Amino acid sequence: GDITDALYDIGFRVFSLSNNHSYDKGAAGIDASREHWAAMPDDVVSMGFYNLETYDDYVYQTVNGITFGYLSYTEHTNGLPTPSSATYGVVYLSDLDIIEQQIAAMRPNCDVLVVSCHWGVEGSHDVADSQRQMAQWLADHDVDLIIGTHPHVTQTAEWLTGAEGHTSFVAYSLGNFLNAQSSPDNMIGAVLDITFQKTTQSDGSSAVEMQDPKLHCVISQYEDGWKNIREYPYSAYTDELGAAHGNFTLTREYIESVLYGSIDEQFVALD
């Protein structure tokens, strides 16, 4: 609760709840999570736990005249099955029939459809074939923006063209944000920045174009004993900070090598 309050205070308003730890505390944990998010301020939206009978928990948010729809899926839940007493649960990325049903229901009601995918191999900068295949399947079903999490390290991003010519953008893994893991690459994350431009025609029809996606580098920092955990934009990070890291030295040269080695350079932003 304290973490979500802090995230709210610095501007976060959209939260994806579907991940490999969603079932760690069983049905009671699912219920407690849903109650927590329901009590957040009205401008917060969250998604990732769905009614297991209807799957029609559709989440929308309108910002500056553009309506966004959000869906959230996970590749696995660490081997834990959906709790037998649960009435809400996650949708797995393998549940294509359910995902197709949800997309079909939401697509007419939003300008931009965003899907969060918790997928990939932890610690790997390489995009797995299963990620690429799923991203293309989502593009073929007219999803606009695909945001990947789970590997804990950065992976590349790219434009995709769907089966009917729809344009989609996928960031396969943003890496970590604030964290206290034990590898240098875990400290290097990215914040996706993308502009949505809506154009309305005289006949009332409209279209939204996604423009200039960038992955802005952020660095986590902590001291011996995992103390004073904090986050820096790359522009404020120094080699002196890197030398003072709790477990290893993390230089700007190494950070740049990781970013340009894992992300298409046209999308990397170091400002």
pLDDT per residue as tens digits for the range 184-237: 999 999 999 999 999 998 898 899 999 999 999 999 999 988 999 999 999 999
Contact (Cβ atoms closer than 8 angstroms) between residue 139 and residue 159 = no
Give one word for 45, left, alpha or beta, with left for phi > 0 and alpha for psi -120 to 50: beta
CA-based radius of gyration for the chain: 19
Which residues, including other chains, have CB under 8 Å from residue 212's CB and lie 6 or more apart? 194, 195
Return the pLDDT at 204.
85
What average pLDDT does the structure give for the chain? 97
Average pLDDT over residues 118-135: 98
Q: What is the secondary structure of 168-211 as a DSSP string?
A: EEEES-BB-SS---SSGGGGEEEEEEEEEEEEE-TTS-EEEEEE
DSSP structure class, residue 109? G
pTM above 0.75, yes or no: yes
Asked whether the predicted pLDDT for residue 271 surpasses 90, the reply is no
Which residues, including other chains, have CB under 8 Å from residue 201's CB and lie 6 or more apart? none
